[in-house]
Amino acid sequence: MDFVNALILLLNYIFVPALAYGSQLAIGAIFVTLIYGILRFANFATGDMMSFGTMVAILFTWYFQSVGLSLGFLPTALLAIPFAILFMGLYMLIIDKLVFKYYRLNKSPPVQLAMVSIGVMFVTQAVVRIIIGPSDRRFFDGEKFLIRANEFKDMTGLNEGLAIKSTQVITIVVTIILVSTLFWFLNKTKTGKSMRAYSDNEDLALLSGIDPKKIVMITWMIAAILATVGGVLYGLDKSFKPFTYFNNMLPIFAAAIVGGIGNPFGAFLGGYVIAFSEIFLTYAYKKFFMYVLPESMEPDGLIQLLSTDYKFAVSFSILVIVLLYRPSGIFKGKIL
């Protein structure tokens, strides 16, 4: 029985949260990797683009709430996502036309594009803060828990409860649907294949009649979908704050590079690698050992490998180690 308790404990505090957090990172990492693979620059505006998409979704959510529209036990924000994506796509295309296009046509080095993306980062950040303000906002409504800890205890008669938030389930389900559609699109459709060809070898792709304008436009549209959905899922699960979104860019970058930049599947797994290692290394295992070990061997300390303050540092250290020993990432992306 103790063993089951220990397992539930890990499930509750490590597995479920890490799975949800990892999914959010994974979507962001695919976003980074797609931009890198096809448009060929490191997009430092990633976090702020996600926060822009989330902001639009929040504004729509508020509108829907004010007219009394809702999805019952599901959060209203899900209804707002398609509208937000449209807006976000428009925003991305405008930015591309005003800013990135010029450098792409001039074949500027990737460093210059990365620098330009910092300009976009500043502007997007300003726009978000001017429209919605810098404060913390929760926009979740609907049923909060799928399983409450107490219900679970009553149901199973165990000491440890398992609480599953509905946002966690929504995150995981939406991620599965989104990512599998994306991979289907990239691997099976003609447009997706031409995108991959363009990413692999631009000249060859152009030679075989692939329209670069179309590729770029579709990439931005997919990026808009990923940014909005990823941002909204994170905001639903935690809360929306422009500064946190900006900071989230860092683990997202780590995930994309760990997975092998330019490789969407690697980025997807990279998100989970980062999320799980962050939570594994900073969790205090005291209670777990209390269940597993006999009473005489009970530990006195927290049995924590690293204090939770170093949560971010963990993902960055993984990144640094990967960059050192396997610069192309765990799952073979582009060689850096």
Partner 1 sequence: MRKNLNVIAAYSIMMGLIILVGIFQSWNIALSIFNLCLISAVMTMGANIQWGYAGLINFGIMGFTALGGLAAVLISVNPVKEAWSAGGSNILLSLFLIIGIVIAVRFVLKKYQKSKIRTYVIALIIISGIIIIRLVSQPGIEAIEEVNPARTGFLGGLGLPIIFSWIAGAFFAGGLAFIIGKVALGLRADYLAIATLLISEIVIAIIKHEDWLTRGVKNVIGLKRPAPYEVNLQETEWFINLVEKFNSGKLALISDLSERQAVLNQFVIEGSSIFVKLCYSGLFLVVVIILLILTQKALYSPWGRMMRAIRDNEEAANAMGKNVVKQHLLIFVLGSAIVGIAGAMLVTQDGLFTPGSYRPLRYTFLIWVMVIVGGSGNNFGAILGGFVVWFLWIEAAPIGLYLVNLTTAGLDDTHFLKVHLIESVPYFRFLMMGVGLLLIMRYRPKGILPEKIEIK
Q: Which residues bind partner 1 (CB under 8 A)?
A: 41-42, 44, 99, 102, 109-112, 114-116, 118-127, 129-130, 133-134, 246, 250, 253-254, 257, 307, 309-310, 312-313, 316-317, 319-320, 323-324, 327, 336
Partnered with residue 165 across adjacent β-strands are 145
Report the residue number, 240 or 291, with the smaller CB distance to partner 1. 240
Q: Which of 7, 66, 33, 52 is nearest to 222 (CA)?
A: 33
Please state whether beta strands 164-165 and 145-147 pair in parallel, antiparallel, or not at all (unpaired). Answer: antiparallel
- Residue among 185 and 243 whose Cβ is closer to partner 1: 243
Between CA 257 and CA 327 the distance in angstroms is 8
* Residue (216 or 274) nearer to partner 1, CB: 274
Q: With contact defined as beta carbons under 8 Å apart, do 186 and 264 qualify?
A: yes
Q: In angstroms, give the least distance from the CB of 114 to partner 1.
A: 5
Residue 38 is classified by DSSP as I
Of the pair 43, 175, the CB lying nearest partner 1 is at 43
Give min distance, CB of 130 to partner 1, in A.
4
Minimum distance from residue 261 beta carbon to partner 1 (Å): 8
Which token pair is 33?
A: 């990797």
For the bound state, the minimum distance from the C-beta of residue 28 to partner 1, rounded and expressed in Å, comes to 14
In the complex with partner 1, which residue's Cβ is closer, 89 or 242?
Answer: 242
Q: Report yes or no: 223 and 200 within 8 Å, Cβ to Cβ.
A: no
Q: How far is the CB of 189 from partner 1 (least distance, A)?
A: 30
DSSP assignment string, 124-185: HHHHHHHHH-SS-B----S--EEE-HHHHHHHH--SS---EEHHHHHHHHHHHHHHHHHHHH
